Amino acid sequence: MKSPAKTRDRIPRLSNKEALVLELLLITPSSEKYGLELVGESNAQLSRGTIYVTLNRMEDKGYVESRLETPPRPTSGLPRRLYRPTGFGQRVYELWQMARELGRLQTADLGGAS
Amino acid sequence: VNKKVRKDSSDSTVGNTRNDVPAKPVTQAELRELLDKYSPEYVSEILQNRYAPAKAERRVLPGNAIGEEDLSEILATFSCSYVSRVLRASDSAANPQDSIPERAVIREEDLTDLLNRYTPKYVSQILRQRLSQNGANSFFFMGKAHAEAYSEISSPPEFQPSSAKIIVRPPGSLLSRAAEFLFSRKTLTRIVNPIISDLQAEYFEALGAKRPAKAVWVRLRGYWGLFKAVGLHSILKMVVEIWREL
């Protein structure tokens, strides 16, 4: 079991897939989306089989939050789970974008120097 | 009408005679017996008072009571239970808190939704089951046309499935039940159920668009997505690799 200090000092990590999910969710932060909607908007970068595993992991990390849709759809069946980004997720995504830009600048500088 | 003895509220035997009236709903035989003993106005008044005791002084029916001819005609056309409910509903309209429970009443949009998804015969069976569960007599209709519809629904022809597609259960429902035993609650609510939910939504959309081939494809793709998501494919992959090593 991890100690609280280690947990507190842990740097948030964001994989490319998670960043893509956050990007799609942050297009309209106030609205909620379900997994299949994210898959459809990702231009085949996300797959049906893995989207909910990714979302589950992101929810554990605190990047997104979810709820079951209410009221249920007119057709019968299980209710869908809707996801939206948290404030923490939004900040992590913004920092991730800044870090990526810095990386690009560094690559460009190194390329120019050589 | 005048042959029958009129008992009004000033009669000293009112207390006892009111107790003679059976608890609601009265049967047709009981009502006829009451009508043989008392005037229709008096029976009507007692019934109304019993059904709406808080509003005992109110006379809600036209002319304060239905006449004998009217009652005979009504009873010849409708069941006694139905007449009792009409009487009660007349009072309920003016006294909303005494409204009749609507548990057996199906809304129009629900019926339309059912008819879009199932055959009329199947819908009829569902309604019949619901009526029998709630008690057929509790079904409430206001009018002759509805009463005729009630008689049709009460005794529909024996259910025979048509050749049309009938969705007995949505796809993935059995899988969802099985997953309850296999996975944790968290995995179930966050991974398995959302995938099944998407599968069902896409499946119904495909069927709604009259594309059964796509529905089959959606079903297979949904199962495969679920299979991938829960990681069974990696277990199988590992088993295959071990088998090849051997």
Compute how many other C-beta atoms are within 10 angstroms of the C-beta atom of residue B237.
10
- Calculate what percentage of chain A has a pLDDT beyond 70: 82
What angle, rounded to 10 degrees, do the helices at B108-117 and B120-134 form?
130
Q: Is there a contact between B127 and B105 (Cβ–Cβ < 8 Å)?
A: no
β-strand partners of A85: A64
Smallest CA-to-CA distance from B101 within B114, B89, B87 is with: B89
8 Å CB contact of B191 and A56? yes
Give residue A19's pLDDT: 92
Give residue B128's pLDDT: 64
Give the distance from residue A63's alpha carbon to the nearest chain B alpha carbon, in angstroms.
Answer: 15
* B50 compared with A62, residue with greater pLDDT: A62
**Among A53, A59, A78, whose Cβ lies nearest the Cβ of B229?**
A53
Give the distance from residue B149's alpha carbon to the nearest chain A alpha carbon, in angstroms.
Answer: 26
Distance separating alpha carbons of residues B130 and A83, to the nearest angstrom? 37
Name the average pLDDT for chain A.
81
Give residue A21's pLDDT: 92
B150: pLDDT strictly greater than 50: no
Distance separating alpha carbons of residues B114 and B94, to the nearest angstrom? 33
Residue type, B122: Y
Max intra-chain CA distance, chain A = 63
Smallest CA-to-CA distance from B155 within B134, B131, B119 is with: B131
Span between the terminal Cα atoms of chain A, in Å: 47
Give the distance from residue A52's alpha carbon to the nearest chain B alpha carbon, in angstroms.
Answer: 5
B12: pLDDT strictly greater than 60: no
Q: Which residues of B touch A75 (CB under 8 A)?
A: 113, 117, 200-201, 204
B194: pLDDT strictly greater than 60: yes
**Among B117, B224, B229, whose Cβ lies nearest the Cβ of A52?**
B229
B242: pLDDT strictly greater than 50: yes
B35: pLDDT strictly greater than 70: yes
**Among B198, B224, B226, whose Cβ lies nearest the Cβ of A36?**
B198
pLDDT, tens digit (0-9, with 9 covering 90-100), for B152-185: 444 444 444 444 455 557 788 788 888 888 888 8
Name the average pLDDT for chain B.
62
**Banded pLDDT at B98 (limits 50, 70, 90):** very low
Tokens representing A64 are: 């997104």
Record the pTM: 0.48
